[in-house]
Structure 1
Amino acid sequence: MAASNVLKRGLPPSLAKLVSTETTERIANLSAQPRNLFETLSRMPHDGVGARVFQTRWQSKGIEGCCWNITRVQTKLDGTRGKAWGMLVWRGKEVSEREEQIRGGLKWKWAPGVSTGDKLKLVQPVPSPLGYDKAKQMQLERRAEEEAKRRQLAEKNQERLTLRQKFEQRQIETEEKWNSVLRSVKQQAL
């Protein structure tokens, strides 16, 4: 009931009267249901970059404090498939030394937040540990590194091109010198 009131408060009063409580309850329940990783992430701001998500089976097994901190996402097909990278937190400790690709995104059900170990409540809102700014900063740094590599490669290609042009220019100059020497020898012979 509380979720439907929140949804109705976000609408103008004239529209809120038209939407039934049953419809808003369904919408609220849809967003709370566990889904595959990419469906869960696609419902979050910025495709879930900077968010925490966990496999619901961890919670049903009584495993507490486990989640993935999402650092990068590539979605396909309306946000139902794709690739995701993050840092694994297992029982409150960060296990991953660096970001790694998240496996089992389609195989298991996922929910936002951190696993609590109790089997009753599956979904709880938890603020992002990285924050959007830090995750975005990591993404920008990675892009800057890639851009620097591209620039270095372009500079090397330009150097090769200029070296080739210099070589060709020297060939032309030596051919011209030899042609002028041959002309002068022919003129002297005549």
Structure 2
Amino acid sequence: MREIIFITGGQRSGKSRFAQELAEYSSANPLYLATARYWDDDFEQRIRRHQTDRGEQWETIEEEKRLSSLSLDGRTVLLDCITLWLTNIFHDNGYKLEIALEEAKREWNALIQQDFRLIVVSNEIGMGLHAPDESSRHFTDLQGWINQHIAASADKVYLMISGIPLQIK
């Protein structure tokens, strides 16, 4: 059953909606794996919006970093999202790029040892303006390298543009 579907694109490109549709098509009781931290009121409102978008058939688990600690065998899992997960790792490692990259790769590699259908949402943040400060540039690098790492292990990869999924792998 192991299958990894990676969905990436820009902000508000329809990634989460498409991922949710795939998960609901694949399972009568999908699992939503939320990685967001409650950083501020705006994040709390975004989290609430995502929660109300999902029906009663969904089970939700919140895990900020240690994704591989969860037992997910046999499930259809929607992991939303890699960008927030990386933010947590980057922040908790004092914004040190190499340490955060190694931790994220290690955690991802351990997570995908399970036998499940994993639908993963991420962001393509390197397609816009060049980040103005060093920390932001490092995070853009981190996001790009992890997206490449995840895409390499994925069975299917979709790029979302204006609500339209383009399968690129």
Higher helix share: 1
Q: Same fold (TM over 0.5)?
A: no
**TM category, shorter:** under 0.3
Larger radius of gyration: 1
Scaled by the length of structure 2, the TM-score of the pair is 0.23
Relative contact order higher in (CA < 8 Å, ≥ 6 apart) = 2
